[in-house]
Amino acid sequence: MAERLDGAPDPAALAAGELVVGDDGLVRPAWAAHDPLLRDYYDREWGRPVRDERGLFERISLEAFQSGLSWRTILAKRPAFRAAFAGFDPDAVAAFDAADEARLLADAGIVRNRAKIAATIGNARATVALRPAGGLVALVESFATAPPIAPRRAAEVPTRTAESAALAAALRARGFAFVGPTTAYALMTAIGLVDADLVGAHRRGARREAPA
């Protein structure tokens, strides 16, 4: 992996379409350049810190539901997910029972996967149980130790790292499910623990800034 070296976009990445100059003059990675929903998510949310328990529980839940699907699909369904899972209030979701599981399995607005639904309810209970030990946010933040990277091409961005494997193991040891190393790395990049943006993209280097 290249050393951290923020700067101008790689001309080859621009030529290959991995980086795209938008109509507003801002450079974005290809995945965030064309679809309005993904573009807004990239500009406003991706890589920004999430330091509240409910917000982090939501991100973990949505990353789990994304497994095997596109992130765009999950984003489009996020309002329905929030409605179905009580705004991702961990206390409320932890109290869900068999009737709630049946309701969720019948909700066409979300991803109707029995294992992922059960995992989300279990993860809510694990989140609540973590509070006496410092809480979910403190646990996840303790893994903000990954070495910096400066990818110039998408192929240089890893899908998992030693740190994401350690985070996944720590979460599973505390009762969380659907949190493998790949899902954990996606979470780490989404909440700014790792800056995996391509060099030259306009959000590069802004991972730890306060939310907009």
Instruction: Please give the positions annotated as active site.
Output: 41, 63, 71
Cβ neighbors of 83 (< 8 A, separation 6 or more) are 109
**SS3 sequence, the chain?**
CCCCCCCCCCHHHHHCCCEEECCCCCEEEHHHCCCHHHHHHHHHCCCCCCCCHHHHHHHHHHHHHHCCCCHHHHHHHHHHHHHHCHHHCHHHHHCCCHHHHHHHHCCCCCCCCHHHHHHHHHHHHHHHHHHHHCCHHHHHHCCCCCCCCCCCCHHHCCCCCHHHHHHHHHHHHCCCCCCCHHHHHHHHHHCCCCCCCCCCCCCCCCCCCCCC
Specify the residue for token string 């403190």: 138
Radius of gyration of the chain measured on its C-alpha atoms = 18
Bin 29: left if φ > 0, else alpha if -120 < ψ < 50, else beta.
beta
